[in-house]
Amino acid sequence: MFPELDLLRNECMNCTKCPLHSGRRNMVFGVGNPEAKVMFVGEGPGEQEDIQGKPFAGKSGQLLDKYLEIVDLSRNDNIYIANIVKCRPPQNRDPKPEEQDACIEHLRKQVKLIQPKIIVCLGRIAAQRLISPDFRVTSQHGQFIEKGGILFMGTFHPSALLRNPANKPHALSDFQALRDKIKELSL
C-alpha cells in the first residue's frame, strides 16, 4: 500500500550505520497512518519497544495513548509515531549525538513520505534535534514553531511525566492546544 515507506523500512532493517544496530532485537520504524497530518517523534526505543518492534509500547506509551484519546487522536487512525533513533540505546540512555546523526536521515525520509503538517516532539532529545538545539521543554512547551512548511511543537516526554506527574496539567494543555491547531487548520 505504501511501497516507498516499505522500501525505507527495509533500508532501516538492514542499517548498520551506528553501533546501536548490534544490540537491537528489533528496529523500531514507526506506527500509525502514513497519511496522517500529525506526526509524533520520541527519542528512541526502550526495552518493550525493542521487544515488540513498535514505538511507545510500554508504560509511557499507555500514558501517551491516554493524552491522544482525550484530544481525539489515535495511533490506529489519524497520527503517525516515530523516534529520533530506530534502535534501542543500551540501558535506555539518551541516544548519543553521533547515533542521532547516523539515524536522522531515515527520519527525514520518513517525514518526506508522510508529509505531516504538524510534528509534535516528545521530550528534550526530539525537540532539541528537530526544533532548536537550545530548546527548553519546561519554558517552551506548547509553542508552535514553523520550519520548512511544517509546524513543530515540543512537549513533555511521557516518561518524564511518569517521573514527575506535576507537569501532567501542562502536557494536557499542550495536547489541547494541538487539538485547537488541528481544528484551526482544518486538518
Residues that bind ligand URA (CB under 6 A): 42-46, 49, 55-56, 60, 83, 159
State the minimum distance, in angstroms, from the CB of residue 43 to ligand URA: 3
Instruction: Return d(Cα 35, Cα 38) in angstroms, integer.
Output: 9
Question: How near is the Cβ of 57 to ligand URA at its closest, in Å?
Answer: 7
**What end-to-end distance do the CA atoms of the chain give, in Å?**
22
Nearest residue to the partner ligand URA, using Cβ: 42
Nearer to ligand URA, 43 or 99 (CB): 43
Please, which residue, 46 or 154, has the CB nearer to ligand URA?
46
Cα angle vertex 182, ends 167, 6, to 5°?
A: 95
Q: Which is nearer to ligand URA, 87 or 178 (CB)?
A: 87
DSSP secondary structure letter of residue 3? H
| Shortest separation between residue 56's beta carbon and ligand URA, angstroms | 5
Between 47 and 180, name the residue whose CB sits nearer to ligand URA: 47
Residues in the chain: 187
3-class DSSP assignment, residue 131: coil
Q: Are 8 and 106 in contact (CB under 8 A)?
A: yes
